[in-house]
Amino acid sequence: MAEHVLRFHPSQPRSRVEKLGLLLRRYRGPIIAVQWLVVVVYAGLVVIPAFLPLPPEDAHIWDNLRLFAQFCFWGLWWPGVMIATVTMGRVWCGLFCPEGFVSEWISQYGRGKALPGWLKWAGWPFVAFVCTTVYGQLVSVYEYPQAALLVLGGSTVAAVAIGLLYGREKRIWCRYLCPASGVFAVLAKIAPLHYKVDRAAWDRYEGEYQPVNCAPLVDIRRMTSAGECHSCGRCAGQRDAIALSWRSPFSEVLDFNNPAKTPDVLTLVYGVLGVATAAFQWTVSPWFLHMKLAIAEWLVEREHFTLLDNDVPWWLLTHYPEANDLFTWLDGALILTYLIGGGFLLGSLLLVGPFVASRLLKSEHLSWQRFALALAPMAAASVILGLSMLTVTHLKAEHLWLGWLPAFRIALLGLGATGTLWLALQLVRRVTAGIVAKGIAGLVMALPVGLMVTLWSLVFFVW
């Protein structure tokens, strides 16, 4: 990958955060070395455990590679990545992600074909996220390394293939097809750290500079959203106009000059808050259990046993006889229905508030998409709470003290709810409308917050 000579204006004072961004650009060599290390560790933790036997009952995460890998991926990695994205932007994508790095690296040796129109469809990240989430639940990706190898390894192979076909030193996979890209994009919108672009400084700059290889194909001169930036630092200091900076975590949503894009909103509402929430909750949901028992009894009474058959390939539905974990066709059908149907029903209910608020205020700036983006803090809390359930499962197995857990969950749920309500009220305040319309708009925006708080309260304190 090309290294660039940096020339910075010597007289301009810089903050510590801005200097950090410049260091990330200057020291690309060590960053690449770290990325290769992540690739090696990632490959080992994905591949090796898939060929190991079930851990014995007295095994621990520190003495069994299979349990250790599960804890690293689902107990530490995913929750950590989401927390990092919400606080620092897409630093995982730009500095550590093995898929993105390998895809970019191998594209140097690929065919460099022009991107076809179908590949650039804005809806792929949302579709890929939903499909990956649902399929992961069907094959129990969190519990079995064979399933993890299939899902994570398959995604990596696809990223490599896209890198070989399209682009030159670019992350085509990350920009258009990565299942997690859409989630990272919406969560990064509330990150307090971002790379700020000063358009006026860019246009008036007359000194020497080297062009920047922006791997995710961002038009950095016109970049206004942290959602599309991979926070790699390659453009830091470019034309003395780009700097790693602090900002209010709500500033991007409240900036009417920053477009509220429908694909981002669909990923946020139907993906993160809808399907993902259903995926986290179905295993503890009494609704799911009652539905399964009722249908199973109905089938038995009528001697229809096909859907109760559990002779299913493991790569299609969970099938591990040695662990006494076997999904039937009925299980698969109900999981699919619960995640897709329940997730999309939940997402539609969550959109009632944004739709009504937008219609009440009738402002060109306050579309339903803008109001829906106010749900980003709630979505961040929801996805972190859901992923932390996997962390808690591993910690419970090790008999660690978890007395802090209820307070942590209440605090995180409260932060998400408060952040969304505050954002919604700020949006309402910024338009000219009657006090009654504003009041009702604020109240209806409390409906999606109340719905999510109720669902998570059921999971943690009732079910």
Asked if pLDDT for residue 8 goes beyond 70, the answer is no
| 240 and 299 housed in the same domain | no
User: What's the pLDDT tens digit per position in 150-195?
Assistant: 999 999 999 999 999 998 899 999 999 999 999 999 999 999 999 9
pLDDT score at 331: 97
User: Which own/partner pairs from 13-18 qualify as long-range (CB within 8 Å, at least 24 positions apart)?
Assistant: 14/243, 15/245, 17/193, 17/244, 17/245, 17/246, 18/236, 18/243, 18/244, 18/245
Provide CB contacts within 8 A for 246, sequence distance 6+: 17, 192, 193
Mean pLDDT value across residues 129-147: 97
Of 77, 79, 55, nearest to 66 by C-alpha is 55
> Is 322 part of a structural domain of the chain?
yes
The partner residues of 326 in beta bridges, in order of sequence, read: 319
Is the CB of residue 349 less than 8 Å from the CB of residue 363?
no
pLDDT score at 13: 57
Of 457, 420, 463, nearest to 442 by C-alpha is 420
| 26 and 123 housed in the same domain | yes
pLDDT score at 4: 42
Of 377, 383, 181, nearest to 275 by C-alpha is 383
Provide CB contacts within 8 A for 127, sequence distance 6+: none
208-233 burial string, b = 16+ CB within 10 Å, else e? ebeebbbbbbbebeebbbbbbbbbbb
| 156 and 223 housed in the same domain | yes
Q: How far is CA 309 from the centre of its chain?
A: 35
pLDDT score at 2: 40
> Confidence class of residue 10 from pLDDT cuts 50, 70 and 90?
very low
pLDDT score at 3: 40
pLDDT score at 310: 94
User: What's the pLDDT tens digit per position in 345-375?
Assistant: 999 999 999 999 999 998 888 999 999 999 9
Is the CB of residue 25 less than 8 Å from the CB of residue 6?
yes
Is the CB of residue 424 less than 8 Å from the CB of residue 378?
no
* DSSP string computed for 198-212: -HHHHHH--S--PPP
How many domains are contained in the chain? 2
Q: Which of 14-28, 268-282, 328-342 has the lowest mean pLDDT?
A: 14-28
pLDDT score at 11: 43
> Is 357 part of a structural domain of the chain?
yes
> Is 43 part of a structural domain of the chain?
yes
What Cα–Cα distance (Å) separates residue 274 from each residue in 148, 213, 268, 277, 379? 23, 36, 8, 5, 10
Domain that holds residue 294: 264-303+313-462
Q: What is the DSSP letter of 177?
A: T
| 179 and 35 housed in the same domain | yes
> Confidence class of residue 12 from pLDDT cuts 50, 70 and 90?
low
308-338 burial string, b = 16+ CB within 10 Å, else e? eebebebeebbbbeeeeebbbbbbbebbeeb
> Cα–Cα distance between 271 and 261 in angstroms, integer?
15
Q: Where are the alpha helices (DSSP H) in 270-375?
A: 276-281, 286-301, 329-336, 343-350, 352-361, 368-373
| 90 and 125 housed in the same domain | yes
> Is 255 part of a structural domain of the chain?
no
Q: What is the DSSP letter of 243?
A: E
| 95 and 236 housed in the same domain | yes
> Confidence class of residue 207 from pLDDT cuts 50, 70 and 90?
confident
Q: What is the DSSP letter of 168?
A: S
> Is 253 part of a structural domain of the chain?
no
| 239 and 361 housed in the same domain | no
Selected residue with higher pLDDT from 331 and 6: 331
> Is 219 part of a structural domain of the chain?
yes
Is the CB of residue 353 less than 8 Å from the CB of residue 448?
yes
> Is 283 part of a structural domain of the chain?
yes
| 234 and 277 housed in the same domain | no
Asked if pLDDT for residue 392 goes beyond 50, the answer is yes
pLDDT over 70 percentage in the chain:
97
pLDDT score at 30: 95
Ramachandran area for residue 55 (φ above 0: left; ψ -120 to 50: alpha; else beta): beta
| 186 and 48 housed in the same domain | yes
> Is 284 part of a structural domain of the chain?
yes
| 243 and 334 housed in the same domain | no
User: What's the pLDDT tens digit per position in 249-303?
Assistant: 999 999 998 999 999 999 999 999 999 999 999 999 999 999 999 999 999 999 9
Mean pLDDT value across residues 104-122: 92
- How high does pLDDT run on average in the chain? 93
| 356 and 384 housed in the same domain | yes
> Cα–Cα distance between 46 and 73 in angstroms, integer?
9
| 234 and 271 housed in the same domain | no
Of 351, 405, 339, nearest to 379 by C-alpha is 351
Of 195, 249, 190, 254, nearest to 222 by C-alpha is 195
Q: Which residue has the tokens 């992961």?
A: 136
